[in-house]
Amino acid sequence: MTRARTAGDVVRTFLRGLGQTMITLGVVVLLFCVYELQVTGLVTARAQDQANAQLDRTWSEAPRQVVPGQTTPSPGASPAPASVTPIRGDAFARLHVPALEGYEPKALFEGVSTAVLKKGPGHIPGTALPGEVGNVVLSGHRTTYGSPFNRWAELRVGDEVVLETRDGWFTYRITGSKVVAPTAVEVTYAVPGDRRATPTRRLLTMTTCNPKYSAKERLIVSAELSASSKKSDGLPAALAGRG
């Protein structure tokens, strides 16, 4: 004879099913976190290795390109700003941050599309290139795809960031940081905050999500060019002794 189901049986069955569902959801969330924090990092690491190898080949094989009207720098002169327009999606420079202990140099790509930022930090097209008058604007992930800007909140006024191009080193000194809304595009202007102004300074703006694991805000780190030197002169002072 089959026993009739009681209210207790129904409750126990419901709780058992709920528990199994929660366990399944927990496993799914855990796997998603592993993918976001670990697997995406492996994807970016591979892209960085390939990009850095390509930069080494290009910089060692290609002669320096001089645009019309540009003269070759005399011995001891500072390098000319990058004169060749980078190709969207390609690496064209390297980012060094000596102030952050253990920070590995990152290949810097042209563009800030989703696909580009999966490979590493990107340069916003149309903004200044390393060494130019205006505002070099960079963007990078803070928590996924290698997290190139993960430690940006640690940067302090006076710290140095170095942009390496085929011909030279451009050292920028941090001048400040702030948190803004994602809509605050004025930070990317040639003269931040004033779209109509004529730039006279050589600035660097780096932007990433804030807080970590959220896109609610943007952390903006600002800097200004403090020194530049040719590759043939060796490592800049900011990197000397760091290898």
What is the maximum alpha-carbon separation in the chain?
103
What predicted TM-score, i.e. pTM, was given to this entire model? 0.78
Over the stretch 26-37, which tens digit does the pLDDT of each residue have? Answer: 433 343 444 444
Angle, vertex CA 197, rays to CA 193 and CA 203, nearest 5: 65
Task: Give the C-alpha separation, 78 to 131, whole Å.
Answer: 10
> In angstroms, rounded to a whole number, what is the distance separating the alpha carbons of residues 13 and 7?
10
| Domain topology for 38-61+86-233 | Sortase; Chain: A; (2.40.260)
What are 77-109's pLDDT values in tens digits? 566 665 568 999 999 999 999 999 999 999 999
pLDDT at 61: 82
For the stretch 196-208, pLDDT in tens is 999 999 999 999 9
Angle (nearest 5°) at CA 122 between 111 and 59: 95
